[in-house]
């Protein structure tokens, strides 16, 4: 089961002032971001037109990770902190551990879509505190571990304890967007706003402790990935122990409909000055531009968010072209997007 380094939870629980929560909430912003490159790489590896359900499921989860990242940044601003996004430390090294020792050594890389990656990486990342087990294993007594959800709960508890009802951050820094429902992304002005917002992150990721659904009646990330892994939809089933079973329609998967990305492609693996190298440079330039735009957005210019949406499309189109491009010198492979933090420079 996925663990978080318990030091982070202890740090949260031992905080005596809101300022002591800033680095932890910054960590949360980093954590939410850190899952997006692996998910997107898997999604971009799906051939255009092939494996539409896999694409749709990952896309829906990525969108929610973006929402969570936005919520975490809003909370940090609301508490009076300053999100830092345009910095090399913000971007994890792939393959490598996620921030805060998530997963007790779980190594996350940038790889093509496969059911193995879904099971061994994505479901691990999203694993709830007590995963509901549907019609396969009996609910044995599960040991309790510290999870991402528990980390958020610790922060939530401390905000409740330490913060005034009206949070101290500048209201004008709160980011909202027409791309998210107002009951999921809302400005965080009060302590209650912050508590509600954290609940959204926890439930969308993990579901509730009694249901795989979140408050919006959508399957939590873990169970959406589990559907892809099992190749079956999770549906209501009164005969099943938890009221759900993987007895829904089959989710077809075609391994041929996946580009054979070379795992964890780096720009340094490509011949300097080659067309492929240039395209990877273009990709990383977009990635830098995106992080930089988000930094501006979350540091007092919330209106910039719309522009970053456009950059996301630039990034996506370049990535998809890379995924279809044969890897020079590595027969049988194509190029994965590297998501490296590189400041564009002159020559």
Partner 1 sequence: MSYLHAPRLVFTGDFLSDVSTVNNDTAHYNNATFQPNFQDPGKGATNGWWNPEGGAVFDFQNCAVRQIFLPDGTTQTSQSDDIIIGQAVVGAEGRPTGKMVDLDPDAQMFSALWCVQLRICTANGDLLFKGDITTTSFRDLQMRQLDGGKSNGQPLGASWTSVITNIEWGVLAEQSAFLKTLRATTQNNTLAINMNPFGYYYNHNDGRFSLGRIIGSIGPYFEGEPLTFAPARRLYGINYTPSARSTFFSTSNFLVEPDSKRVSIDFGASFPVADSVGTVTYKQDLRLAVSKVPQTGVASRQTPTFYINPNDFIEIGTLDYQSDPNWLNQTGGIASFSNLPDATMAALSNSQLLLITPSTSQPGQFAIIAREAIDGLVARADNFIQRLDDGQSVNIDFYAYQWGNLLPNTSISITLDPATPDTPVGPQNPISELYGNNFPAEGLTFDGQISTNQQGKAQMLLTGNAIYSPRVYIDGQIYFITYQTATVDQAFGTEQVVVHLRDYFQEIANPVWSDISEMMIQYSNLYPIMSKYVVNLADPAALAEKKKILIFAFSRDINDTMHMPVTRDLSSTKRNTILNWLNNPQIAPKTVVRSEAREARTANPVAPGTALTDKQTRYREAVKAKNGSFPGFSATNDLFENL
**Residue ranges that bind partner 1, judged by CB under 8 A:** 48-49, 86, 178-179, 271, 273-275, 277-278, 281-282, 285-286, 288-290, 292-297, 304, 306-311, 313-314, 316-317, 320-321, 343-347
Q: Which is nearer to partner 1, 180 or 186 (CB)?
A: 180
Maximum C-alpha span of the chain:
66
Residue 190 Cβ vs partner 1, minimum distance, rounded to whole Å: 28
Residue 52 Cβ vs partner 1, minimum distance, rounded to whole Å: 10
Residue 269 Cβ vs partner 1, minimum distance, rounded to whole Å: 15
Asked if 216 and 184 count as a contact pair (C-beta separation under 8 A), the reply is yes
Q: Which is nearer to partner 1, 136 or 278 (CB)?
A: 278
The encoded tokens of residue 35 equal: 């899952």
Instruction: Say how far apart CA 185 and CA 197 lie, in whole Å.
Output: 8
DSSP alpha helix (H) spans, the chain: 6-13, 22-34, 36-44, 52-79, 115-117, 123-126, 148-162, 191-206, 221-230, 275-297, 305-323
Residue 293 Cβ vs partner 1, minimum distance, rounded to whole Å: 3
Buried b (16+ CB within 10 A) or exposed e, 24-36: bbbbbbbbbbbbb
Q: Which is nearer to partner 1, 79 or 305 (CB)?
A: 305
Instruction: Say how far apart CA 286 and CA 328 lie, in whole Å.
Output: 22
Residue 304 Cβ vs partner 1, minimum distance, rounded to whole Å: 6
Q: Which is nearer to partner 1, 103 or 302 (CB)?
A: 302
46 forms bridges with which residues in the sheet? 258
Whole-Å CA distances, 64 to 54, 180, 181? 16, 9, 11
Q: Which is nearer to partner 1, 133 or 179 (CB)?
A: 179
Residue 180 Cβ vs partner 1, minimum distance, rounded to whole Å: 10
Residue labelled with tokens 């929560």 = 21
Q: Which is nearer to partner 1, 215 or 307 (CB)?
A: 307
Helix (H, G, I), strand (E, B) or coil at 213: strand
Whole-Å CA distances, 70 to 92, 205, 208, 251, 279? 18, 15, 21, 31, 29
Q: Which is nearer to partner 1, 183 or 306 (CB)?
A: 306
Residue 137 Cβ vs partner 1, minimum distance, rounded to whole Å: 36
């Amino acid at each position: 089961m996925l663990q978080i380094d318990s030091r982070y939870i202890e740090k949260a629980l031992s905080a005596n002032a809101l300022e002591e929560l800033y680095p932890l909430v910054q960590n949360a912003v980093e954590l939410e971001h850190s899952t997006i490159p692996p998910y997107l790489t898997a999604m971009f590896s799906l051939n255009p037109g092939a494996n539409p359900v896999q694409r749709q499921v990952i896309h829906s989860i990525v969108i929610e990770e973006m929402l969570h990242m936005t919520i975490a940044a809003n909370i940090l601003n609301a508490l009076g902190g300053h999100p830092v996004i345009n910095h090399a430390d913000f971007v994890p090294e792939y393959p490598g551990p996620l921030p805060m020792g998530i997963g007790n050594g779980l190594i996350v890389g940038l790889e093509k879509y496969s059911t193995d990656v879904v099971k061994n990486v994505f479901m691990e990342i999203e694993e709830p505190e007590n995963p509901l087990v549907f019609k396969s294993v009996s609910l044995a007594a599960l040991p309790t571990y510290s999870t991402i959800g528990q980390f958020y709960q610790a922060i939530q508890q401390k905000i409740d304890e330490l913060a005034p009802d009206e949070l101290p951050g500048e209201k004008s820094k709160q980011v909202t967007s027409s791309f998210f429902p107002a009951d999921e992304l809302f400005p965080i002005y009060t302590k209650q706003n912050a508590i509600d917002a954290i609940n959204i992150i926890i439930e969308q990721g993990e579901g509730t402790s009694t249901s795989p659904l979140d408050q919006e009646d959508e399957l939590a990330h873990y169970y959406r990935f589990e559907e892809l892994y099992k190749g079956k939809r999770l549906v209501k089933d009164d005969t099943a122990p938890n009221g759900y079973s993987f007895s829904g329609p089959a989710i077809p998967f075609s391994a041929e409909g996946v580009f054979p990305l070379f795992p964890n492609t780096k720009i340094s693996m490509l011949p300097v000055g080659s067309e492929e190298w240039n395209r990877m440079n273009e990709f990383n330039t977009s990635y830098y531009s995106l992080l930089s735009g988000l930094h501006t957005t979350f540091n007092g210019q919330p209106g910039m968010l719309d522009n970053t949406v456009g950059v996301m499309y630039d990034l996506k189109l370049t990535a998809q072209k890379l995924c279809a491009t044969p890897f020079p010198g590595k027969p049988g492979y194509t190029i994965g997007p590297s998501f490296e933090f590189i400041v564009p420079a002159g020559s």
